[in-house]
């Protein structure tokens, strides 16, 4: 998979993951909520890194 293609795939995967997690969060038992929020934060940080990577790519 080409570099750019990989970034877009990972972006898609992480954002979909976040969306699904938001839906889950609403009905999540309190003891699980913290864990889901932590994982969501990590996914959000990954998204920021991927976007930074994308910005750094030469614009064609």
Partner 1 sequence: MGKLNILVVEDDALAREVMSENLAGHAVEFAGDKATAERKLKAGHYDICFMDLLLGENDDYSGLKLIPLAVSRNIYSVVMSSCDTEETIGRAYALGCKEFYVKGNEDHNIAAIIARYLRGDGGKEAQEVFSEVFITNDPETRSLVSEALKYAAMELPLMLLGPSGTGKTTLAQLLHGHSGRDGDFVSINCAAYTEDLLESELFGYKRGSFTGAHENRKGKLAQADKGTLFLDEIGAMSQNMQVKLLKAIEEKAFYPLGADKPEYSDFRVISATLEDVQKLLAEGKLRFDFFQRVHGMTIALKPLAQRKCDIFPLMQAFTKGKKRLAFEPEAREHLLAHNWPGNTRELKRFVELIAAGTQGSVTLDTVQRHITPCVAPEQTGAAAVTQEQYDYAVKHGLAAAADRFTAGIINRNLSENHGKKAATLTQLKISKCLLYSVLAKLKTTERK
Cβ of residue 48: shortest distance to partner 1, in angstroms? 15
Distances (CA, A) of 55 to 18, 25, 26: 21, 31, 33
Residue 18 and residue 43 in contact, taking contact as beta carbons nearer than 8 Å: yes
Q: Which of residues 12-31 bind partner 1 (CB under 8 A)?
A: 12-14, 16-21, 23-24, 28
**Helix, strand, coil content of the chain in percent (nearest 5):** 85, 0, 15
Q: Which is nearer to partner 1, 2 or 59 (CB)?
A: 2
Residues that bind partner 1 (CB under 8 A): 1, 9, 12-14, 16-21, 23-24, 28, 32, 35-36, 39-40, 42-43
């Amino acid at each position: 998979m080409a570099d750019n293609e990989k970034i877009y795939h990972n972006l898609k995967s992480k954002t979909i993951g976040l969306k699904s997690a938001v839906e889950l969060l609403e009905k999540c038992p309190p003891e699980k909520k913290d864990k889901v929020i932590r994982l969501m934060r990590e996914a959000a940080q990954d998204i920021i890194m991927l976007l930074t990577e994308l910005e750094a790519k030469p614009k064609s």
